[in-house]
Amino acid sequence: MRIKTIAIISAVCFAMSPISWGRAAPPAVERLRYENRLLKAELALAGKPALYLVLDLDQKKVYLKGNGYVLKEWQVRGARLWGPQAPAKPVKLLNKSALLEPRREKIKPKKPEEEEEATDTFDIKALELKDMPVSYSLSMSEDVLISVRPLREGVLSFPARLCRSVKWYATRPLLTVWNAVWGKPFTAIEVTLDEADAQALYWAVPEGIENLIYYISDD
């Protein structure tokens, strides 16, 4: 009896999952309209003396731009989407978070009587690219959450991917419900990058940077 109940609930869940909803491809007109809105937004951003990020999932690229000029681009190795289409306007990076966040070194001012020892070796205590995390989340305005994950290969890559998938499908619905309670939409995007690229992206995007997210979902 209990097994039957669980089976029915599972079937209902699966039927309601975003994957199984039969969605028609967006008409070309909608695509043009959406692209037009994003291009207008980018034109406004490109006119400002600030950097901005473009996550183009159609081209599978992440671009860091300034004045419309591509300063850096990274190849997206994989992507996963959740929830409604990201808004066709700039979203601001509110917060970067990682399990192991890089820590800034605190300089201790020298005491007046302290003499500097003559030495040939330098112990550089600085925040460098290699200190950046490879797995982190970027919380954007408009309730958009971008998770960046490293592309791993080898024996442990499969269990790692499996764990990530379980976490994704367990936590995304809960966050969706939580946001729905407050009347807000929730869009989650997971992008997989090469490890070095994930570190470089973390380095390159300061909090407050504006972002454009290009992708046409099928809803």
Q: Which residues bind another protein (CB under 8 A)?
A: 9, 12-13, 16-18, 21, 29, 32-33, 35-37, 39-40, 42-43, 46-51, 64, 66-69, 71-72, 82-88, 104-107, 109-112, 114, 122, 124-129, 142, 170, 172-177, 180, 185-187, 200, 203-204, 206, 219
Q: Of 158 and 178, which CB lies nearer to another protein in the complex structure?
A: 178
Nearer to another protein, 142 or 194 (CB): 142
d(CA 214, CA 219): 15
Min separation Cβ 163 and another protein, Å:
17
* Sign, Cα dihedral of 117, 120, 121, 122: positive
Within 8 A by CB and 6+ apart from 87, the residues are 142, 144, 213
| Cβ atoms within 10 Å of 124's Cβ, excluding its own | 7
Q: What are the structure tokens assigned to 131, written together?
A: 């200190």
Q: Which is nearer to another protein, 105 or 153 (CB)?
A: 105
Write the burial class of residue 83 (CB in 10 Å: 0-12 exposed, 13-18 middle, 19+ buried).
buried
Closest by CA to 186, choosing from 139, 150, 218, is: 139
Q: Which helix (H) or strand (E) holds 73?
A: strand 69-75
**Residues 6+ away with beta carbon under 8 Å from 21:** none
Burial class (CB in 10 A: 0-12, 13-18, 19+), 199: buried
Distance of closest approach, residue 42 Cβ to another protein, in angstroms = 6
Identify which of residues 100 and 158 has a Cβ nearer to another protein in the complex: 100
Residue placing its CB nearer to another protein in the complex, 108 or 156: 108
154 or 183, CB closer to another protein? 183
